[in-house]
A and B are shown apart, each in its own frame.
Chain A
Amino acid sequence: MLFPMKILVTAKRVEDPESKIKVKPDGTGIVPEGLKYKINPFDEIAVEEALRLVAKHKGETVVVSIGGKEVHEQLRHAMAMGVDRAVWVNHTGPLDQMAIAGLLKKVCEKEKPDMAILGKQSIDDDQNQVGQYMAEWLGWGQATFASKHESLDSDAEKSKTPALVVGADGKTVKVVREVDGGLGTVECTLPAVVTTDLRLNQPRYAPLPGIMKAKSKPIEELTPAGLGVDVAPKLTVLKMSAPAPRKAGIKVPDVATLMQKLKTEAKVI
């Protein structure tokens, strides 16, 4: 028999990864004009994995996002994909990873999920910390960078065991992780935190009936003060700047010229 699973997932609102990010001339942030926003791609993979697990085990999925009212868009998107309900931590202004992990810890204590699945990082801050902080503060195990090796389109991949497998007694989860030089597998006792890498799965498109249904799914509102979390930043961004450009090189007409340049100019061959 399969034990039902309650899974908590996150849906951070981030700039569309396809958008061109430009730094403001005064270095205080990025230029917001012309930017589109969407759910952090790693979180979208987390949502997909949770939906697959709950489709198999039954149970419930809950999505959390932290931010102003605009994050409802990402919560609705996750619910359109199939998540049952949402928790919105209403906060405007910058938050660092410790504040986010502190808030998510409190939400986990309240919701008591069997597993929290998060993106391994968000594509704006690129910090790769929140899942780990949260796991330590909750005293839970962690399996970061959950992944699969081959392309998801290959036949070999389709027939492979999923990267996340819940034990027969419903008390553990075995996770395949992408690590340096290969793939590592760990087994965590539940509840546990799992963070997702890119190749874990291919998130589904939100179907039209799902989009309609999501409109009536509940969003519960919480606040940092209500959760008793101090969100004063422990990491301050002093200044942002554009990366130093590489100096422009030259075009060479043929392989012979290239060889000559590599030998005598760059001296790398």
Chain B
Amino acid sequence: MPIVLIYVEAQPDGNLRKASLHALAAGAQLAQATGSELHGAVLGKDANKLADMVKGYGLKTVHAASAPHLEHALAETHGPAMAELAKSIGATWVGAAATAVGRDMLPRAAARLQAAMATDVMGISGSGNDVVLTRPMWAGSVMADVKLNTPVKCFTVRATEFPAAQAGAAGEVKAFNAPAPTVPTQFVEFKEVKSARPELTEARVVVSGGRGTKGDFKEIEALADELGAAVGASRAVCDAGWVPNDLQVGQTGKVVAPQLYIAAGISGAIQHLAGMKGSKTIVAINKDPEAPIFQVADYGLVADLFKVLPELRAAIHAAK
């Protein structure tokens, strides 16, 4: 039986990165469309803990490689390991979430497999040998249906477009030996950006500020804290240096799909919209009634954000 193999990613703290559950859901869909088994791969210094965390998510088999050189998810170590595993089990599809690690590592595995690859897959259709993947081009201005023509095919998944895989029966965990690295790239350090707020891509509510804040994020942050939300920003304010870049929502930043997205003082450039259009409910607050953000907002309020954000915060506080 053919195999769909999904790379399961660990966060720096060793826990499962949630985006991988969405990649597993996409993998399950693909497995169904191609009549394949769904397998997972976990790699690390000690991969067994992560293997146990993930084996219950609809996987037939979890392949776990533990080795000191796999401690950090370097493309030069995890890439070849994924490729060699795919070869040894005869996987025909190899996927990962489109995270920084997935985007860095999987093309390297694909290169070794002589496999064509689709990045940021948002939809899967067709079946058997005629599977079609839908992915964004031109910052989401275009949706392209693509077909991969190589015997082995690789893909990364835009996590917000697939539900998270649900826990079910536990699959079997099998050890595999990852090849020793041949390219001597060294991990030096990882500096975490610490925040008391939830992670942008995983938050239920996101409050974002744009140029209209003029760099004053106090009200954005206060509202976010009242809601237990993550703070986001448009590219313009990140480029201006008003807030750190890891808050950027958009095609060149993070893609988010929370239950509620509040955009304050954001005009709605196409590249920003590409990063938040999948949100369930969108609220836009902007002084300019013609701002393009209103075209995607469920609820638009034409007003000065400095006036209405405190009012909204008070109303939410009162409603608690």
Contacts and interface: CB of A to CB of B under 8 A. Distances in A.
Interface of A: 15, 17, 20-21, 23, 30, 96-98, 101, 123-129, 132-137, 139-145, 147, 149-154, 157, 174, 177-189, 192, 198-199, 233-243, 246, 248-256, 258-259, 261-263, 266, 268-269
If over half of B's interface residues share one DSSP class (helix, strand or loop), that class is named, otherwise mixed; here it is mixed
A178 to B, nearest CB: 7
A250 B300 contact: yes
Given A125-B137, A141-B183, A182-B193, A132 B111 contact: yes
Given A150-B241, A250-B300, A127 B282 contact: no
B107 interface: yes
B302 to A, nearest CB: 6
Contact of B147 (A21, A182, A236): A236
B119 A128 contact: yes
B240 A268 contact: no
Contacts of B203: none
B143 A184 contact: no
A181 B192 contact: yes
Given A128-B103, A180-B99, A249 B297 contact: yes
Given A254-B301, A268-B280, 11 more contacts: A17-B271, A140-B183, A141-B185, A142-B108, A185-B191, A239-B144, A243-B141, A243-B142, A251-B301, A268-B205, A268-B260
Closest 10 A-B residue pairs measured CB to CB? A151-B241, A132-B107, A136-B111, A234-B116, A249-B298, A141-B185, A185-B188, A133-B111, A21-B141, A179-B100
Nearest to A243: B143
Contact of A23 (B142, B146, B183): B142
Interface string B97-133: 0011101110110111000111110000000000010
A248 B241 CA distance: 33
B188 A186 contact: yes
B108 A135 contact: yes
Interface string B284-318: 00000100001111111110000010011001100
Contacts of B193: 149, 181-183
B90 interface: no
Contact of A268 (B259, B271, B301, B302): B259
Contacts, number: 253
A261 B186 CA distance: 53
A251 B138 contact: no
Interface in B233-248: 238-242, 244-246
Give the bracket for the number of chain B residues in contact with chain A. 35 or more
Contact of A174 (B12, B188, B238): B188
Given A136-B111, A249-B282, A262-B260, A178 B100 contact: yes
Nearest to A192: B185
A266 B119 contact: no
B182 interface: yes
Contact of B199 (A181, A198, A236): A181
Contact of A240 (B132, B137, B239): B137
9 contacts: A126-B139, A128-B107, A154-B241, A180-B100, A199-B238, A235-B117, A250-B299, A268-B205, A269-B316
B301 to A, nearest CB: 5
Nearest to A251: B300
Nearest to A198: B252
A23 B187 CA distance: 43
B235 to A, nearest CB: 8
A239 to B, nearest CB: 5
Contact of A241 (B108, B143, B302): B143
Contacts of A255: 301, 308, 311-312, 315
Contacts of B139: 17, 123, 126
